[in-house]
């Protein structure tokens, strides 16, 4: 019908104009080949060319017949295009703004009567982006094209990552990014309107909901934590709708879930001043946050430097390693031989403390104790002390008997061959192992422990060692759909290469789909891939296996 044809015609026209603007951006920003060409500029140029190649195909398909799957495919390319364009803008800002301010303010000091207004200095790179390279034009076209594609069925305006309670009620607060507030404790139920997030943040205490235009993987850390804590977490893809939510800032609102959409409404009696309130929901929240009581298993004393897989007893008490080693070894022994899993060895609890107490590490041990006992507790900015603690651990030297024991455990587990892991290879391996020990002082771990009233110094870290599977594709499957807790559906996400781009929330989306467990219907595609990076490689992987993992409520 004519009614159906008009939106398609508009989408076709927009796709063509986007193609022209994208081509112009490539010509303006892709560097030539030469000695001055930097690696970053080369990667950026390759990314722009890859997106242009894909979009040229989408434009051709749109004008040939507009196949039914076109909107879904187009949306994945548009997401990647928007991100690559953002990279160009960031590069211009990084390369030119500092120089513009240095020259501009320098001229101001020498010839104040001849220099333009100071705003022209602070906005120099922004105006350059608006006036050149077609990125501003492309951004305008993409905003319209995004709406047109979604109207054609290319994607919903919302993605519910965690349902919350379901939904959420609280005071709406705006924040540029989630990382900057992850250390904050909110004294009232708060719903954050966060412009950006990395996916690695910890949900701050007091937060009952997060709304963002970013689209983290369903399996990113922040996504998993939000579901575990029953915090509502949703992505709003419509930029106009997201920006419109700012009108609720400093108001008490109720977020309700309706299918795959979130509706936000202001509640009567929510004063805009946003003063502290007590009792009711706040009292319950404070009680819940303050009442979190997690008991870590008692510290395990040193037993051995390393255990090969055959020596791991999943039922042993006290535990000398975390749940990760237990579950991996258990499943390996239960599975049929035709299902292959990586072999494992573990550096158990107590080894870190044993190495720290060695005579060769006395200076490191004294500094480490001072940082933990004094400087960390007195620090106004704990992040700086955390960095010192991690650097301190990486200065540890390995006792010779530890080196021999770890190598032997890896040989006995068929992870390496005799004679391997010598010289510089061992140095690299030990640095990676120390990196796992040091990771208990990561900011996310620190704030997570603080929220649960656990002294992070009491966390013990075992290290699971495996040979990395050189994967062509990696996936994670939820046997219950995490977006709506529907037990009849499973949800899966797939990426090219190693799985770190998925669980580490690398920018872009994975191939995501749901499927009925009874196989009564074909899979339903939720997202097509739009990531720009795939990781490939082999070697050994050193994995954290602490006594604080997989504890109920933590």
Residues belonging to the active site:
221
Phi, psi of 356 (to 5 degrees): -65, -30
Token digits for 534? 């795939």
Token digits for 204? 């701050």
Query: CB–CB of 474/498 below 8 Å?
Result: yes
The 3-state secondary structure of 29-41, one letter per residue: HCCCCCCCCCHHH
Cα separation, 141 vs 14, whole angstroms: 7
Residue 90 has a CB neighbour count (10 Å cut-off) of 13
Cα separation, 428 vs 419, whole angstroms: 16
Give the DSSP H or E segment for 119: helix 119-122
Token digits for 189? 């139920």
DSSP secondary structure code for residue 309 in this structure: G
Cα separation, 161 vs 270, whole angstroms: 27
Token digits for 13? 């026209």
Query: CB–CB of 524/447 below 8 Å?
Result: no
Cα separation, 430 vs 394, whole angstroms: 9
Start-end of H helices in 280-399: 280-290, 323-334, 351-356, 362-370, 376-378, 382-393
For the CA atoms of 426, 431, 433, 439, what is the dihedral angle to 10 degrees?
Answer: -170
**Cis, peptide link before residue 9, omega less than 30° from 0:** no
Cα separation, 253 vs 174, whole angstroms: 13
Cα separation, 200 vs 444, whole angstroms: 8
Cα four-point dihedral sign 173, 176, 178, 183: negative
Cα separation, 526 vs 50, whole angstroms: 23
């Amino acid at each position: 019908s004519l009614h159906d044809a008009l939106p398609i015609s508009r989408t076709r026209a927009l796709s063509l104009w986007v193609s022209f603007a994208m081509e112009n951006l490539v010509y303006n920003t892709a560097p030539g080949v030469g000695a001055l060409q930097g690696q970053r500029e080369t990667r950026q140029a390759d990314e722009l060319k890859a997106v242009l190649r894909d979009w040229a195909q989408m434009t051709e398909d749109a004008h040939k017949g507009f196949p039914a799957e076109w909107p879904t495919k187009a949306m994945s390319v548009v997401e990647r295009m928007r991100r690559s364009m953002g990279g160009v803008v960031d590069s211009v800002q990084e390369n030119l703004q500092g120089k513009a301010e240095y020259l501009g303010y320098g001229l101001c000091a020498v010839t104040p009567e001849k220099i333009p207004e100071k705003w022209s200095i602070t906005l120099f790179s922004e105006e350059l982006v608006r006036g050149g390279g077609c990125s501003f034009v492309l951004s305008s076209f993409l905003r319209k094209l995004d709406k047109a594609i979604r109207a054609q069925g290319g994607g919903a305006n919302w993605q519910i990552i965690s349902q919350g309670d379901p939904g959420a009620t609280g005071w709406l607060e705006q924040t540029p990014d989630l990382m900057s507030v992850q250390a904050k404790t909110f004294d009232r139920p708060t719903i954050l309107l966060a412009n950006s997030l990395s996916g690695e943040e910890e949900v701050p205490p007091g937060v009952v909901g997060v709304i963002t235009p970013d689209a983290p993987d369903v399996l990113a850390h922040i996504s998993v934590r939000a579901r575990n804590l029953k915090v509502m977490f949703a992505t709003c893809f419509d930029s106009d709708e997201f920006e419109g939510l700012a009108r609720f800032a400093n108001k008490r609102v109720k977020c309700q879930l309706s299918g795959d959409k979130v509706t936000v409404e202001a509640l009567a009696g929510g004063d805009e001043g946003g003063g502290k309130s007590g009792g009711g929901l706040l009292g319950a929240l404070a009680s819940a946050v303050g009442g979190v009581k997690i008991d870590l298993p008692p510290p395990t004393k040193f037993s051995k430097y390393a255990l090969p897989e055959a020596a791991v007893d999943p039922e042993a008490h006290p535990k000398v390693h975390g749940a990760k080693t237990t579950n991996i070894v258990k499943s390996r022994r239960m599975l049929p031989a035709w299902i292959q899993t990586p072999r494992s060895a573990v550096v158990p609890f107590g080894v870190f403390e044993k190495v720290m107490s060695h005579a060769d590490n006395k200076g490191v041990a004294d500094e480490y104790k001072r940082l933990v006992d004094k400087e960390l507790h007195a620090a106004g900015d704990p992040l700086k002390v955390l960095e010192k603690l991690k650097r301190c651990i990486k200065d540890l030297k390995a006792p010779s008997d530890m080196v021999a024991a770890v190598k032997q455990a890896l040989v006995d587990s068929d992870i390496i061959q005799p004679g391997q892991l010598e010289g510089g290879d061992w140095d690299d391996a030990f640095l990676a192992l120390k990196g796992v020990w040091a990771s208990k002082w990561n900011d996310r771990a620190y704030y997570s422990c603080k929220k649960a009233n656990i002294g992070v110094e009491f966390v013990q870290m075992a290290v699971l060692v495996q040979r990395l599977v050189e994967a062509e594709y990696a996936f994670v499957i939820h046997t219950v759909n995490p977006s709506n807790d529907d037990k009849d559906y499973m949800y899966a996400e797939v990426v090219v290469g190693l799985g770190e781009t998925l669980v580490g929330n690398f920018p872009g989306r994975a191939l995501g789909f749901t499927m009925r467990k009874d196989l009564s219907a074909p899979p339903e595609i939720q997202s097509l891939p739009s990531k720009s990076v795939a990781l490939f490689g082999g070697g050994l992987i050193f994995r954290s296996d602490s006594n604080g993992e997989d504890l109920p409520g933590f």
